[in-house]
């Protein structure tokens, strides 16, 4: 892991403010309206942009992505073409194509803000390459070639000191023992400047027809919270540690749908499985890619697909998605994680072929007006879409940031749980409190006023 620098200097000397506006065009459907540029939108810098799916979610929630970095030249060309078609304007460019290893904070500031004062409120978003943290990938962790990029990304956050940030990655970084130590090191470095939180979310819970678990590490700069919210007026920060969920995470549309509904079993290829009546339409891929009223081949990238050559395309049962590759999707179920690298192949439920690029876009909740150019390979197209955060999930995450920025979310002083009392007491005295002290609330605070704790009637927060 690269050394994480601690920068306590304040780059933000100007007193100008950026107004926050809600996106009046926000819709619950997959279709994303064309984005109207507005100088009032909160500026955001995007790292590891790729296909820009995370960008699309933040744009749709009301943010203005003013600077982007993408090292892969094919991804950069694909992104610029797609965004030009989607938005109807050519202003969405990849501003920097250097490796993040060679980027400096001063260069980024110059490219993003020019000679203008650095805004008081701006954000950074990005998802460092995940193969070193993926169970299905190389699993080298923070010492891997790609894993080190997460540490460099955090170092740049600490240098640039945005008001807020998000680091997105695979579930393995957040819940695998091998990688958890690396995550803890990143969080510890960030906590010197930021109040952080992280959580693993499943896109399926938010109406995306895909079982895709991704972790999000988020943070707000402590001094920004103190100056712009009621954060300083509460004892919130002394009560809640970074990993105890303070961020207003988006409320799931469905509660654990993977286990709640009776999903149909695999059926012989070529048969017509009965459609369940109790499963929501937006959770079944057939709603998007098996609808006889919609000819997907007429949409952008609708005919982009590899030619079917293997006999397996005619033999594998519909819904047999347990194998590592050649997984045939079931039209009335959700898709496995859309990941098309490492020779993983997903087959159409009712046709003897792989999914088309447009069908993958549908599963990733990408708008129909998003088009990848013919000048990049099919492999790059599949990877650009498969590597991204589903647009629906990205949008609700961005909406949670807007709650804090718009001050529609407020920090509250909550009674401490017994567990909190014990943790704080140990921090203050290096020893555990006695049972009678917990019961009476008379826990000595070792001379530290912030450790004074009142009695708690319940263990609920």
pLDDT band per the 50, 70, 90 thresholds, residue 5: very low
* Distance in angstroms (rounded) separating the CA atoms of residues 66 and 109: 11
Check whether 413 has a pLDDT greater than 80.
no
Check whether 32 has a pLDDT greater than 50.
no
Q: Which CATH class is domain 42-255+391-405?
A: alpha beta
pLDDT band per the 50, 70, 90 thresholds, residue 379: very high
pLDDT, residue 309, reads: 84
Show Cβ contacts of residue 144 under 8 Å, excluding neighbours closer than 6 positions.
Answer: 131, 132, 138
Choose among 388, 351, 340, 347: nearest CA to 367: 388
The domain spans of the chain are: 42-255+391-405, 418-451
Average pLDDT of the chain to the nearest whole number = 81
Check whether 35 has a pLDDT greater than 50.
no
Which of these ranges, 6-10, 72-76, 447-451, has the smallest mean pLDDT? 447-451
Contact 56, 339 (CB under 8 A): no
| Integer-rounded Cα radius of gyration of the chain | 24
Contact 455, 412 (CB under 8 A): no
Provide mean pLDDT across the span 125-143: 63
- Strand order, beta sheet including 213-221: 63-68, 42-47, 123-126, 164-170, 213-221, 194-202
Position with higher pLDDT, 431 vs 396: 396
Strand partners, 64: 43
* Distance in angstroms (rounded) separating the CA atoms of residues 150 and 127: 8
Tallying the residues shown for the chain, one arrives at: 461
pLDDT band per the 50, 70, 90 thresholds, residue 456: very low
Residue with tokens 């098309």: 340
Catalytic residues: 130
Per residue in 183-219, pLDDT (tens digit) is 888 999 999 999 999 999 999 999 999 999 999 999 9
Report residue 365 as tokens. 């909740």
Per residue in 264-306, pLDDT (tens digit) is 999 999 999 999 999 999 999 999 999 999 999 999 999 999 9
Give the rounded distance of the alpha carbon of 160 from its chain centre: 20
Characterize the bridge pairing of strands 194-202 and 213-221. antiparallel
* Distance in angstroms (rounded) separating the CA atoms of residues 286 and 236: 46
Check whether 445 has a pLDDT greater than 70.
no
Position with higher pLDDT, 164 vs 13: 164
Report residue 310 as tokens. 């293997």
Check whether 323 has a pLDDT greater than 90.
no
pLDDT, residue 389, reads: 96
Share of the chain above pLDDT 70, in %: 73
Share of the chain above pLDDT 90, in %: 61
pLDDT band per the 50, 70, 90 thresholds, residue 246: confident
> What is the DSSP secondary-structure string of 280-300?
-GGGSTHHHHS-TT--GGGST
Task: Please give the DSSP secondary-structure letter assigned to residue 117.
Answer: P
Which of these ranges, 45-49, 137-141, 457-461, has the smallest mean pLDDT? 457-461
pLDDT, residue 136, reads: 53
Neighbours of 74 (CB within 10 A): 18
pLDDT, residue 182, reads: 84
pLDDT band per the 50, 70, 90 thresholds, residue 341: low
pLDDT band per the 50, 70, 90 thresholds, residue 135: low
Per residue in 54-85, pLDDT (tens digit) is 999 999 999 999 999 999 999 999 999 999 99
């Amino acid at each position: 892991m690269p050394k994480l620098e601690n920068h306590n200097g304040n780059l933000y000397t100007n007193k100008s403010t950026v107004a926050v506006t809600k996106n009046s065009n926000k819709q619950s459907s997959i279709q994303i309206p064309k984005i109207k540029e507005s100088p009032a939108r909160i500026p955001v810098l995007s790292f590891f942009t790729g296909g820009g799916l995370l960008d699309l979610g933040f744009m749709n929630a009301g943010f203005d992505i003013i600077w982007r970095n993408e090292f892969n030249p094919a991804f950069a060309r694909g992104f610029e073409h797609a965004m030009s078609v989607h938005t109807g304007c050519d202003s969405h460019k990849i501003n920097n194509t250097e490796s993040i290893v060679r980027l400096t904070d001063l260069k980024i500031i110059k490219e993003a803000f020019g000679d203008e004062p650095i805004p008081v409120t701006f954000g950074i978003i990005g998802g460092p390459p995940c193969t070193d943290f993926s169970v299905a990938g190389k699993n080298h962790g923070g010492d891997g070639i790609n894993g080190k990029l997460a540490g460099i990304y955090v170092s740049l956050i600490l240098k640039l000191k945005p008001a807020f940030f998000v680091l997105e990655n695979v579930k393995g970084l957040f819940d695998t023992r091998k990688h958890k130590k690396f995550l803890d090191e990143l969080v510890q470095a960030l906590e010197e400047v930021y109040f952080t939180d992280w959580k693993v979310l499943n896109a399926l819970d938010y109406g995306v027809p895909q079982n895709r678990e991704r972790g999000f590490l988020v943070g707000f700069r402590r001094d920004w919270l103190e100056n712009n919210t009621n954060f300083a007026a509460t004892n919130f920060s002394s009560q809640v540690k970074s990993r105890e969920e303070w961020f207003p995470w988006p409320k799931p549309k469905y509660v654990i749908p993977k286990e709640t509904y009776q999903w149909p079993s695999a059926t012989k290829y070529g048969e017509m499985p009965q459609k369940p009546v109790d499963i929501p339409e937006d959770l079944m891929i057939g709603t998007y890619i098996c609808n006889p009223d919609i000819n997907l081949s007429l949409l952008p990238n609708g005919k982009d697909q590899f030619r079917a050559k293997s006999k397996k395309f005619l033999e594998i049962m519909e819904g047999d998605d347990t194998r590592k590759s050649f997984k045939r999707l079931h039209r009335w179920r959700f898709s496995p994680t859309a990941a098309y690298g490492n020779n993983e192949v997903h087959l159409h439920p009712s046709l003897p072929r792989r999914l088309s690029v447009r069908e993958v876009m549908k599963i990733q909740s990408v708008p129909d007006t998003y088009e990848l150019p013919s000048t990049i390979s099919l492999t790059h197209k599949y990877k650009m879409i498969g590597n991204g955060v589903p647009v629906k999930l990205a949008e609700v995450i961005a909406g949670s940031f807007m709650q804090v920025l718009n001050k529609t979310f407020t920090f509250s002083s909550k009674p401490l749980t017994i567990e909190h009392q014990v943790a704080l007491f140990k921090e203050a005295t290096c020893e555990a409190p006695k049972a009678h002290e917990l019961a009476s609330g008379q826990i000595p605070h070792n001379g530290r006023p912030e450790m004074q704790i009142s009695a708690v009637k319940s263990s609920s927060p």
